[in-house]
Amino acid sequence: MAKKDEKREYEDFKVNFTPKTKCNNDLRKEVVNVFLDEKCGYWRNDTKIVTRYKYFVEKLEDGRSVYLLRPAYLNKGIDFQVTVERFKNGKDARPSHKDIFSDLKLKKSENPEEFKQLLKAIKRVWDCEDLDTVRKQYNFSFREGFSVELILKVLKWLFIEQDITYSNYDGRGMLYRAILDNSL
């Protein structure tokens, strides 16, 4: 536990990470094992050195990156935050589940038929199909909200985060059902 007068410095690491495995249990293990290889925090000259990591996992067509930020400050254990460069007001931020739900409702009201296809694409990402393959099989024309590419790439990693955080429950299934409950 941090003391009020404790001196603290940060050592930041940036890592490009592309998983080799595709789905659920193996993917969960691969991601956790990468995190277990992180350099631990340490003390130097009465100063606590905290290590922080950014794992760059996706590149968006507009040049921004999706990255995993560790440690995550809102949860405990081996958790991470899914972050998008310049997501809000030109600053890096983590899209919340609420952000995704709101955007999906916006897309549904814009084009209900195309929205049904988007839900199929999301289901395929949930099923761990390759993102590029999924995206090539649809031609979305939504004008409002986030790009479909951003939604799918963020959801891929939110599903993985849920698999790790809630591995004894239903991980990605809980988020997928919440998407359906909030958008149908």
Give the C-alpha separation, 179 to 19, whole Å: 25
User: To the nearest whole percent, how much of the chain has pLDDT over 90?
Assistant: 76
Residue 178 lies in a domain: yes
Distance between CA atoms of residues 66 and 39, nearest Å: 22
126 within a domain of the structure (yes/no): yes
**pTM score of the predicted model:** 0.91
Is 68 inside a domain boundary? yes
96 found inside a domain: yes
- For the chain, which ranges sit under pLDDT 50? none
Query: Is residue 1 a part of any domain in this protein?
Result: no
- The dihedral built from the CA positions of residue 134, 136, 141 and 143, taken in this order, carries a sign that is positive
pLDDT recorded at residue 80: 92
Question: 94, 70 in Cβ contact below 8 A?
Answer: no
Query: Distance of CA 18 to CAs 31, 79, 95, 177, Å?
Result: 10, 18, 20, 27
Q: Is residue 171 part of a domain?
A: yes
Alpha carbon distance 57, 76 (integer Å): 22
Q: Look at residue 103 and tell me if it is in a domain.
A: yes
Q: What is the pLDDT of residue 4?
A: 67
Q: Is residue 2 part of a domain?
A: no
**Cα-based torsion angle of the residue sequence 105, 56, 54, 127 in order, rounded to the nearest 10 degrees:** 50
Quote the distance between the C-alpha of residue 84 and its chain's center. Answer: 8
Decide: 179 and 100 in contact? Cβ < 8 Å: yes
> Strand, coil or helix: what is 69?
strand
Q: Which domain holds residue 178?
A: 7-183
Q: How many structural domains is the chain composed of?
A: 1
